[in-house]
Amino acid sequence: MFTLADRHYEYHVALSFAGEQRDYVESVCNYLEHGYGFKVFYDRNQESKLIGGVLTPKLKEVYNDHALFCAIFVSSAYLMKSWTKLELATILSRYENGDGESVLLFRFDDAEIPDISPEIGYIKIDNSTLRTAERIAALIAEKIRVRWPSPVSVVVGKSEISRGTDEDFVGVYFQCHLTDSDLGFRASFDLEV
């Protein structure tokens, strides 16, 4: 379990994929960001950080140091590209450093991944309804929540409800405010008992 001292991560998850799977992975990203409120490293959403300078050290920092989890979406196309090979090598170094649980592997096909044990758990993405982008985002979100539960504060204010006189007590009125400071989530609701 991570402590407050470990909360230096800029992203909950960094996504690594080939352009051929961009539409699918972008849908996963959208569910993670807009459905769950997670901070995601997705190249098109980070263009201002990536432009200028040398990309190699920037990407190594993201995948090694700035993301709590790395999700690799492997395909034959992924294993052919120089940038994704760099990302994969960087992410796999997390295994060497004893942080293999932070690497989430998703496979579009049976392409052989060099330097990775065939015993590593993965999810095969196929055309089934169980492997939709929404479902994959839910699996990633579940991993994030287990490893880094987000603190939620609850503030409740109450007042008694009466009808005209002190003897006519009717019930209690609650105002509840929920806040998740990490995700910027805030909800309020009223309850009358």
CB 113, CB 79: distance < 8 Å: yes
Q: Please write the tens of the pLDDT for every residue from 107-165.
A: 999 898 887 777 788 999 987 767 899 999 999 999 999 876 655 555 555 555 555 55
- Predicted TM-score (pTM) of the model is 0.73
Strands 123-124 and 152-162: unpaired
Give the pLDDT confidence score for residue 192 in this predicted structure: 59
CA distance 109 to 125: 8
Please list, in sequence order, all residues whose beta carbon lies within 8 angstroms of the beta carbon of residue 178, skipping any fewer than 6 positions away: 152, 153, 154, 185, 186, 187, 188
Q: For residue 81, what pLDDT band results from cuts at 50, 70 and 90?
A: very high
Select the highest-mean-pLDDT range: 87-91, 168-172, 181-185, 187-191.
87-91
Please list, in sequence order, all residues whose beta carbon lies within 8 angstroms of the beta carbon of residue 58, skipping any fewer than 6 positions away: 49, 50
Residue ranges and CATH numbers for the domains of the chain are 4-147 (3.40.50.10140), 152-192 (no CATH)
CA distance 30 to 25: 9
CA distance 16 to 72: 5
Q: For residue 171, what pLDDT band results from cuts at 50, 70 and 90?
A: low
Work out the percent of the chain whose per-residue pLDDT is above 70: 72
Select the highest-mean-pLDDT range: 24-33, 45-54, 167-176.
24-33
- Strand locations in 62-133 (E): 67-74, 103-107, 123-124
At residue 1, does pLDDT exceed 50? no
